Each structure stands twice: as structure tokens, then as C-alpha cells.
Amino acid sequence: MNEGAYGLGMSEAAEPIIARFRKLPSTEKIRLVQQLWDEIAEEASRLPLTVAQKQLLDQRIDEHEANPDDAEPWEQARDEILRKL
């Protein structure tokens, strides 16, 4: 197995795919990576939450319910972020 970026191994089956990918024009590479990322995100969205993720979400819900006025509307948060850019 090859060691790729970040020390991640690459299977032998992936090597010809990577070789073909490297020959593509940049615009095609970007389009392909976007498609791949969309597929990965879709698959990840179907995975069950870990115990730690569920605990964190429960904690954040409890905090919000205890102090609902601490939250700020999305529009206001977005506007603040955009002003800082």
C-alpha cells in the first residue's frame, strides 16, 4: 500500500484512478472532487451519531433551553460575520 498525503494509505486499486486524475485539466479535477465530496457527505449524513456526539448535542440543547435568550438569530450572526470579512 502506498503512503499518500497525511500518511493515509492508498490501495493498489486506487493508483490507476489517481494517475488518470492527475492528467485531467484543473477545472475537471475540481468538478470531480466536488462530486466525490458530495457523495462522502451524503454517506456520512446517514451514519449514526456517536455517543460523544449525542451527548454534546443533548448538552447544547439543555443549555439553550436553560438560556434561550443567549442565542442570536442566524441573520444577525451572518451579518456580523460578513462585516468582519
Residue environment code for 35-44, b if the CB has 16+ CB neighbours within 10 A, otherwise e: eeeeeeeeee
Q: Average per-residue pLDDT in the chain?
A: 90
pLDDT surpassing 70 at residue 27: yes
Contact 1, 7 (CB under 8 A): no
**Per-residue confidence (pLDDT) for residue 11, from 0 to 100:** 84
pLDDT surpassing 50 at residue 23: yes
Contact 23, 32 (CB under 8 A): no
